[in-house]
Each structure stands twice: as C-alpha cells, then as structure tokens.
Amino acid sequence: MAAFGYWRGVALVAAVFLAILLFVPAWFDLFEVLQMTQYVVLAIYALSLAYIWGFGGIISFGQAGFFGLGGYAFAVISINMGETTVPFLLTIALCFAFAAVLGYFMFYGRLSDVYLGVVTLVVALIMWKLISHTAGPEYAIGKARLGGFNGIPSIPIMQVPFTDREMDPGEMFQYFMGLLIFVYLLLHVLIRSKFGRIAISIRENEVRTGLLGYDIRRYKLMVFSIGGALGGASGAMWATYQTFIDPNAFSLEMSAKCLIWVMAGGVGTLVGPIVGVVALQYLSLKLGETAFMNNLVILGIVLVLLVLLMPRGIVPTLHDWLRKALALARQPSRRGAP
C-alpha cells in the first residue's frame, strides 16, 4: 500500500509536468516560454545534486564542474559534428566517465563527508581557471575555439533528434520538459530499486551498510557518476539554449546556486529542488526588475528566512502542513462536546 501511495504521488507530479509540457507553448508568450525553458534546464541541474545528496549522502560543492564540462563538451562536439543528437549523448557519456574517474579517486581513496565536497569544489574551480586561460587561437579543438573568458559563441541550436531541423523555442521547451519528466521518473525508479535502497542505507548508516557486506565505494561511485552525467546533460542543454557558453558555467556561483536550490526545496525529495529552482529564479528575476534594493541582499534575506522557518525545505514542510491539515479535517467536530 505504501508503494502504491508512493507511485501515485510520482504519477501525479509527472502528470502535472506533462500538462505543463503540452500547454505552456500555446498559452504563454515567447519570453515566458524562454524563461520556463531556463527553469527546466536548471531543474535538471538541481536534480543532479538532489539525487547524489538526498539519496546517496554525497555532498558536492562543485557540481558546476559537471555543468560546465557538459556545456563545453557539447559546444565543442556539436560545432565539429554540425549536429546535436550524437553530441548530446556523447556529452552525457563523457560527464559520466569524468565523474567515474574523479569518484574513483575520492571513494576508493576513502574520502568522505566535507573533504569530498571540498575536492569537488576545487576540481570545479581548477576547471574554471583552466578554461578561462584559453583565449588564444591556439586553444581550439577542431573547429571550436575555446575563447577564454569570452567563451564559445554560435553553439548549434538543439535539433529534432536524428534530423537536421532546428527546434523552435516552443519545441525546445517541450523537448527539455520531456527530458525533465524522463529524468524525474528514472531517478524514482533508481531510488526504489535494490540499488537505490542500498544507496540510501549508505546515507543513513555507512558503517552498518559496509558491515552487511555491501561495497559502499562501488555504490557511491555509481550514484556520483549518475549525478555527473545529469549535471553534464543540463550543461549541454544550457549551452544549446543560450547558443553560448563561457567559464561562468564552472563558477562558484553556479555550484552555490545548485546547493541553495536543493536546500531550499528540500534535501531528500526530487520535487523540492525543482520547486526551489523555479521559486528562487523567479524571485531573482522579479527582484532584478526592481530598483528597491540590491536583489542579492533581498535574496539573501529570503534564504535566511527559509532556513529559519522551513529548515527541512519548502516541499517537505508544505507536505507536513498539508498532512496535518488533512488529519484535522478528518477529525469529527468536537464543537458541541461538553
């Protein structure tokens, strides 16, 4: 029964996403569609961290390393190949492999907790530094010049898979939204599988899981690699959405934002980080339109309030409130009782 309730909740969320996929391009203007496409891409980026943190207990302070690598890999491969389908798949594979190699040294080197987070942060910052120093014409991979701080312009727009027809903004929104639904469902299947339950048990009690005979390094490596692949996929989507990528994709700000979205939405959920992205990005956008106060200051205040009032995140807190309200509503009225 519990499993049925779980999947019913997942199906409900997926149905809402599907409705958004179907109706947004028809009901909203171009600017709004583009804005929502951005939220969708960043939602997949947030899910990459939400999965490894919430369901594997791995905190990455440098998730932007995968985001940036995905963006640059997609830019270089798609510019050289002149299409987007195979480059997108190759980018995901490359980021998976990069995460696997990095993860191998971290997990098999018995790094854990905050040290692991620091290593991921340092790796992302090294990548940012390296890519920022590629300004000269000698820094080119095939036809793609890396461009240093100026980044790579003219990245191909995402094409309808296995064709050379470029997607219009509405189609791109629907394609990315479809990918978000796919990732959301895939992660739920993974979480509910035996593999997922063991990954969660590692998060809950690493020592006991090891003493039950599970190779915790292997499970953590797999979880981290999946997170890396998702982070890379979102970076590729970001690059084709903007038709541009620059070193800021690797920046501390990109890593920090991801942590904030996941934390604000709720660690240990998949809907939470998506809500976190939409709420905070929308807020940033609206604050940017006002001249009342520096929007980063207001955003900071909002985050402090969120942490104080909803320490578990938006979605888990709202879920608790809803459950309590339903429980109250189900209780028979005692107004007339003596």
Residue 1 contacts another protein per CB under 8 A: no
177-196 mask for another protein (x: CB under 8 A)? -----------------x--
Kindly state the number of chain residues that form the binding site for another protein, as judged by CB under 8 A: 16
Determine which residue in the list 150, 154, 163, 205 makes contact with another protein, applying CB under 8 A.
Answer: 205
Which residue number, 195 or 244, has a Cβ lying nearer to another protein? 195
Residue 165 contacts another protein per CB under 8 A: no
**CA 251 – CA 237 distance, rounded (Å):** 17
**CA 273 – CA 214 distance, rounded (Å):** 29
| Min dist. Cβ of residue 220 to another protein (A) | 12
Residue 320 contacts another protein per CB under 8 A: no
Residue 207 contacts another protein per CB under 8 A: yes
Structure-block tokens of residue 161: 């898979």
How far does Cα 302 stand from its chain's mean position?
21
Measured CA distances, 95 to 67, 121, 234 (Å) = 9, 16, 11
Q: 15: exposed, middle or buried (C-beta count within 10 Å: 0-12, 13-18, 19+)? A: exposed
Q: Report the run of H or E that residue 73 belongs to, with start and end.
A: helix 64-81
Which residue number, 216 or 264, has a Cβ lying nearer to another protein? 216
33-72 mask for another protein (x: CB under 8 A)? ----------------------------------------
Stretch of 16-24, 67-75, 203-211, 245-253 contacting another protein, by CB under 8 A: 203-211
| Min dist. Cβ of residue 204 to another protein (A) | 5
Residue 325 contacts another protein per CB under 8 A: no
210-239 mask for another protein (x: CB under 8 A)? xxxxxxxx----------------------
Pairing relationship of beta strands 140-141 and 144-145 according to DSSP bridges: antiparallel
- The residue assigned the tokens 């459950």 is 323
Q: Angle CA(85)–CA(243)–CA(131) in degrees, nearest 5?
A: 95
| Phi and psi torsions of 245, nearest 5° | -145, 140
Which residue number, 228 or 266, has a Cβ lying nearer to another protein? 266
